[in-house]
Structures are given as structure tokens and as C-alpha cells.
């Protein structure tokens, strides 16, 4: 699955959109490192719109898999990108200059226990986001297809 750059709608948040532009325009040179953490670009197929949608996310590693957190800053609802990948788990990922198709899945409760701890070490605010919301914030595993 290859997605043409012109088919992608970037995150509407201004600062996230600027981050994505820097990341894409520099082929990951500018944007992979953000505020002391590593970020990737995740492109999902919109469950309602049918359009490709891209956002930037902090990531961790679990062996050869990438891990992201569907926190939305502790908002009461899941982020749209998470809902999209639940319906359409085949996604596009860019990590630095490396672009690939991946299969996305929600971590099991057992996997989440380990991965949450790892991700909260990378971005400690995740613990505060979970305290702020009654929803169980999902951890997502991205496996190269």
C-alpha cells in the first residue's frame, strides 16, 4: 500500500501540522527528535471520510516494533487516529527517513502493563493524562508489514 503525498490530510492542530511539514520536507532530519524524544509520522485511513490522515506521535520500541500511546492529552475520547486504525489496521509509518507499511493493533492488557511503563519513562506526562480521564488510554503496537 503506497499513499501519494497529495492524498494525505495532516493533523489540523497548527503546531502538529508545522511539525509534520518539517518532518516531511526534511525526510525526517528535522522533526524526528522533538523536545528530547523521538517521533514518528502515522498515516491512517479515515473511518468516516475515507481520506488518509497523518499525525506525529512520540514513540518507543519493543524489539523491532514501534509503540505509540493514544492519549489525546487525557481527553475523554480517543484520538481520531486511534479510531481509524481500529477500523483499518493497515497504516503507513515514517520513522526518520524510513517509510513503511505497518499493521497496527491495541496492546493486550498484559502487553500494556509493560509498554505503558516504558512509554511513561519516555514521556512522563502519560501518567497524568491517564489520571485526568476515566477512559483506559490504549497503547498501540505497530509492526512492519
Q: What is the pLDDT of residue 31?
A: 93
Domains in the chain with CATH codes: 5-144 (2.30.110.10)
Q: What is the pLDDT of residue 144?
A: 97
CA–CA separation, 61 vs 68, rounded Å? Answer: 9
pLDDT less than 50: residues of the chain: none
Q: DSSP string spanning 51-119?
A: -EEEEEEE-EEETTEEEEE--GGG-SS--HHHHHHHH--EEEEEETTEEEEEEEEEPPHHHHHHHHHHH
Q: What is the pLDDT of residue 5?
A: 73
Tell me the three cell numbers of residue 134.
476515566
Q: What is the pLDDT of residue 1?
A: 62
What is the per-residue pLDDT across 87-117, written as a single tens digit (0 to 9) for each? Answer: 999 999 999 999 999 999 999 999 999 999 9
User: What is the reported pTM?
Assistant: 0.94
Q: What is the pLDDT of residue 2?
A: 63
Q: How far is CA 85 from CA 30, 69, 73, 88, 122, in A?
A: 26, 13, 19, 5, 23
Amino acid at each position: 500500500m503506497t499513499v501519494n503525498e497529495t492524498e494525505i490530510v495532516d493533523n489540523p492542530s497548527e503546531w502538529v501540522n508545522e511539525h509534520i511539514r518539517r518532518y516531511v520536507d526534511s525526510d525526517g532530519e528535522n522533526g524526528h527528535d522533538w523536545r528530547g524524544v523521538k517521533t514518528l509520522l502515522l498515516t491512517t485511513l479515515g473511518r468516516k471520510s475515507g481520506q488518509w490522515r497523518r499525525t506525529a506521535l512520540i514513540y518507543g520500541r519493543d524489539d523491532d516494533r514501534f509503540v505509540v500511546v493514544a492519549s489525546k492529552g487525557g481527553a475523554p475520547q480517543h484520538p481520531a487516529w486511534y479510531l481509524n486504525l481500529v477500523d483499518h489496521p493497515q497504516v503507513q509509518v515514517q520513522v526518520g527517513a524510513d517509510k513503511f507499511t505497518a499493521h497496527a493493533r491495541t496492546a493486550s492488557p498484559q502487553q500494556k502493563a509493560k509498554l505503558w511503563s516504558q512509554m511513561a519513562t519516555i514521556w512522563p506526562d502519560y501518567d497524568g493524562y491517564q489520571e485526568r480521564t476515566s477512559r483506559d488510554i490504549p497503547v498501540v503496537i505497530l509492526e512492519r508489514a
